[in-house]
Every structure is written in structure tokens, then in C-alpha cells.
Amino acid sequence: MQDIKNTMELTETSEFYWYAIHVRSRHEFKVLNRLTNAGIESFLPVVERLNKWKDRKKLINFPLFPGYLFVHINKIYDTMLSILKTPGVVRFIGIIPGEPEPVPEEQIDFLKRIVENKESIDPYPYLKEGQRVRIKKGPLKGVEGILIKRPEQHLLVLSVDILRQGISIKIDASDVESI
């Protein structure tokens, strides 16, 4: 009976989930490289921005959520401990301090699709209320978010609950349907 219980516990904890981790300021890319080199699947959503200096302009990748990145791991103590020991990592994000909260898989999938599409993406305040919509055509078909109306334009806001942050992309309101 004990062997069955241990097997069940191993099965439950061997599933992989996405977790948000807080990293030191301006260390997102360094931590991403360290985790990737350690064989840990990581995701850092970035947006390309034109950076201007006195003598030149250059397109630079900036983290969409400064100070945060995502790791795809199973919730095994040793794995989490090795991530926490990575230089630049501050902590896992969760509602209860010290207890990491998984990020829903669909939010990560939507973020990846939006970042890969290279539309104009802007950080947007976290929203809990509003009309939930789904894009019904085009390269972002199936992506869900909150529809916001601005003068002469509409935005689709995708919120990442665990970070209490979001991003927005410009869309045509006729391309979405309510959920």
C-alpha cells in the first residue's frame, strides 16, 4: 500500500508546470542563459524597441516584464532549489510567500504567440475586470484577452495573473468574438 502511495506522489509531482521567478534588476538575460545552460526550459518574453543615443540608434530586446521570467519545471524540491541557487534569481512568485504558484499553460502559450508575431506590444496595467474576448482570425486566432476601447482604436490586453502585469496589442474590434 505504501508503494502505491509513493508512486502516486511521484506521478503527481513529476508533471511540469510554468512558474514565474523574480530576478535581480537587469539580470533577466543572464539568468535566462544560466538556466538554459543548466538544461532548464525557460521563457523570457521580449519586445524589440528602438534605443537612441547621441550618436546612433539601435533595435534592442527588452524584457516585456522587467525583473521576471518563466521556468517550466516539475515541483520537486531539488529542481526548485537549484533554480533558487542560480546567481541572479531572487525568488519564485506565489500568493503565499515561499509557495510557488503555477502560471496557467494557456497564458504562457498566448504570450509566446504574441511575442513571436512581433506586433506592436506595449506593457499594460493588470486588469481583472472587462470584456473577455478571443481573436477569431489571423495569425493570433484563438488568443484570449480583455478588449479595451481607446479613441479610434481597440486593444487586446493579455494579463499574467501571477505577476499582476499585462501587455496590450492593437487589434481591429471586428476580429474578436466575446467568450
Q: Based on the domain organization, do 71 and 116 belong to the same domain?
A: no
pLDDT of residue 123: 75
- Domain-terminating residue out of 54, 76, 103: 103
CB distance 149 to 116 below 8 Å? no
Q: Is the pTM of this model over 0.85?
A: no
Angle at 76 between CA 40 and CA 92, to 5 degrees: 70
Q: Based on the domain organization, do 117 and 95 belong to the same domain?
A: no
- Domain-terminating residue out of 103, 133, 151: 103
pLDDT of residue 147: 86
- Domain-terminating residue out of 71, 103, 135: 103
The total number of structural domains in the chain stands at 2
- Higher-pLDDT residue of 71 and 164 is 71
Mean pLDDT score, 13-20: 86
Q: What band does 5 get if pLDDT is binned at 50, 70 and 90?
A: very low
Q: What is the pLDDT of residues 78-137, one digit of tens each?
A: 899 999 999 999 999 998 888 899 999 999 999 999 999 877 787 766 755 567 888 888
Q: What is the pLDDT of residues 31-82, one digit of tens each?
A: 999 999 999 999 999 988 888 888 888 988 999 999 999 999 998 888 999 9
Q: How many angstroms separate the CA atoms of 49 and 104, rounded?
A: 28
Q: How many angstroms separate the CA atoms of 152 and 36, rounded?
A: 42
Residue listed under C-alpha cell 534588476: 25
pLDDT of residue 2: 45
Q: Based on the domain organization, do 167 and 178 belong to the same domain?
A: yes
pLDDT of residue 3: 43
DSSP label at 96?
Answer: B
Size of the chain, expressed as the number of residues it contains: 179
Instruction: Kindly report the backbone phi and psi dihedral angles of residue 136, in degrees, each rounded to the nearest multiple of 5, phi listed first.
Output: -105, -5
- Higher-pLDDT residue of 90 and 177 is 90
Domain residue limits at 149: 104-179
Q: Cell numbers at residue 134, please? A: 478571443
Q: Based on the domain organization, do 98 and 108 belong to the same domain?
A: no
Mean pLDDT score, 158-179: 86
> Which amino acid would we find at residue 158?
L
- Whole-number Cα distances in Å, 120 to 77, 108, 110, 126, 155: 39, 18, 15, 18, 11
Q: How many angstroms separate the CA atoms of 84 and 91, rounded?
A: 6
pLDDT of residue 131: 77
